[in-house]
Amino acid sequence: MKMKRLNFRLSVILLHGFAAAFLQPYDAGARIPPAEEGERQVFRAGAATANITPLLGGNIVGNWKQFPADHVHDELYARCLVLDDGDNRLAFVLVDNIGLKRELTDEARRLIAEHTGLPGSHVLIAATHTHSSVRASGTDQPFEDYEAFIINRISDAVRMAINNLEPARIGWGAGNVPQHVFVRRWKMKPGTRHPDPFGGEDRVVMNPGHQNPDLLEPAAKPDPEVSFISVQSAGGRPIALLANYSLHYVGGVPGSHISADYFGVFADTIRTLLNAEKLDPPFVAMMSNGTSGDVNANDYGSAAISYRPYARMKVVAGNVAREVMRSYTDVQYRDWVRLDAAMEELTLNVRKPDREMIERANWVLSRPDTVTPMHKHEEAYAGRILQLLEWPDQINVIVQAFRIGDLGVAAIPFETFAEIGLEIKAKSPFEPSFTIGLANGIYGYLPTPRQHKLGGYETWMGTNKVEIRASEKIVQKTLDLFSGMQEMESARQVIRTSE
């Protein structure tokens, strides 16, 4: 009976490996050769940064109006952490940009595989979502000059991090910073009218204004947790710290300035707090964007607070960094942990306008200028929904998961609502877990079906491009990937016990 169970576990491993190879044709290269029998496995880590600051003159994206960049307040980077357990190697790359299109991240993976042999499923590439960067998510092909530059710099960061690999130890922790995360979508009092751009009505409003008399209650709850991974050399020298916080961005940046926002300030602050500013190789800190699609730093139930440019992001980054440092002292480091990665494409239906919406959109775009619009963004969204007619009926998106010992990391290519991340944390077989948003592509917002019923900016067709139940499919696929890695580890344990 024991042998039958063993054979079943072996079949699971073989089948999983075959499926991964079949479903991920863009995975070039092979796993690191396993350690010889009897050889002690050594955990290694390396980190590096590559400057991706664009030339002045490109348009800053992230707001309704675009301004040509005329000043660099702080440099933008692709920050990379590579982990190696002797059998598997994982790479995190966090890029200071509002969002990276799928074609760009795919090409970066191809280049990384060409130079390093690292499989695409083992490389997680995510944008931080600073709103003060030059676009890297356009539709033009071939790649624009700046997009091609970012692709090469992402590859460079991974290659340099691999060059810096050294024996290391790893640990993780979490803290809470609730004072800077607020759901920006508010339910409004019954009887108040809030038209959408399509001639309908919303029940919730994004960014409704501080102490608006029509406010009822926030439409959801934020995730106040800041999670982090800490990596040190075998001797205790800090190598890298990767954090995750579900805050959209902070802002307070002049419209023509380039800035990494609070993500960059956090990295600088952690480096200072750890007294790690002059290490060789350089210490690398980085902040990933969590599930913050409906969350920002504005508490609309309270009076607004005025800040000078760049001041607010320093407050937020400082508080988050200090909370990380409070938990940092309690981190239990492991000399070795197993690493695993899984990635699959998930097919989602694209939302399409019905005949009535198409007719109304054409009317909005052709009507006389003397007609007063019902909504200030009517024309913009009329154009957006007509553009959806040019989209395919279905798209394939990447869902990815990393396992680092008992820690699970999910990656989703959307501006993901906080309740989705909280659900993944609650249901994940790994404890703890966190989710990196805007990873491996960008496809707009990802509300839940419950939030779709309430309406609001993030649910509007054109802002949200995929089927209403997409979040449920993505959560289930993420949990399936986690469970698959857990089953593989259980199978390994059965094999070791049987030997």
Task: Give the span between the Cα atoms of 98 and 109, in whole angstroms.
Answer: 19
- Count the Cβ atoms, other than its own, within 10 Å of residue 373: 13
pLDDT in single tens digits along all 499 residues of the chain? 433 333 433 343 333 443 333 334 333 333 344 444 335 689 999 999 999 999 999 999 877 788 899 999 999 999 999 999 999 999 999 999 999 999 999 999 999 999 999 999 999 999 999 999 998 876 656 788 999 999 999 999 999 999 999 999 999 999 999 999 999 999 999 999 999 999 999 999 999 999 999 999 999 999 999 999 999 999 999 999 999 999 999 999 999 999 999 999 999 999 999 999 999 999 999 999 999 999 999 999 999 999 999 999 999 999 999 999 999 999 999 999 999 999 999 999 999 999 999 999 999 999 998 888 889 999 999 999 999 999 999 999 999 999 999 999 999 999 999 999 999 999 999 999 999 999 999 999 999 999 999 999 999 999 999 999 999 999 999 999 999 998 888 877 777 777 6
Closest among 296, 242, 292, 298 to 414, alpha carbons compared: 292
**Which pLDDT value is given to residue 439?**
98
Task: Give the span between the Cα atoms of 80 and 286, in whole angstroms.
Answer: 8
The strand ranges marked E within 106-264 are 123-127, 133-134, 166-176, 182-183, 185-188, 204-206, 215-218, 225-233, 238-245, 257-258
Neighbouring residues of 103: CB distance < 8 A, sequence distance ≥ 6: 141, 143
Task: Give the span between the Cα atoms of 45 and 161, in whole angstroms.
Answer: 8
Quick one: CA torsion of 253, 255, 260, 263, rounded to 10 degrees? Answer: 50
> Distance between alpha carbon 374 and the CA centroid of its chain, in Å?
35
**Hey, what amino acid is at 183?**
V
Q: Is the peptide bond before 25 cis (omega within 30 degrees of 0)?
A: no
Q: How far is CA 417 from CA 45, 154, 414, 420, 471, in A?
A: 32, 27, 9, 6, 9
Task: Give the span between the Cα atoms of 264 and 461, in whole angstroms.
Answer: 32
Give the 3-state secondary structure of residue 466.
strand
Q: How far is CA 460 from CA 80, 197, 312, 313, 364, in A?
A: 34, 8, 29, 29, 16
- Per DSSP bridges, beta strands 257-258 and 225-233 are unpaired
Dihedral sign for Cα atoms in the order 99, 267, 132, 143: negative
Q: Are 120 and 26 in contact (CB under 8 A)?
A: yes
Dihedral sign for Cα atoms in the order 459, 289, 84, 151: positive
Q: Are 186 and 219 in contact (CB under 8 A)?
A: yes
What b/e string do you get for 108-118 counting C-beta neighbours within 10 Å, with b at 16 or more? Answer: bbbbbbeebeb
- Count the Cβ atoms, other than its own, within 10 Å of residue 325: 16
Q: Are 417 and 291 in contact (CB under 8 A)?
A: yes
Q: Are 43 and 234 in contact (CB under 8 A)?
A: no
Q: How far is CA 391 from CA 350, 352, 383, 452, 462, in A?
A: 8, 9, 13, 21, 11
Domain locations along the chain: 2-186+213-350+391-498
Give the 3-state secondary structure of residue 304.
coil
Give the 3-state secondary structure of residue 322.
helix
Q: Please name every residue paired with 204 in a beta bridge, in sequence order, or none if there are none.
A: 187
**Which pLDDT value is given to residue 499?**
63
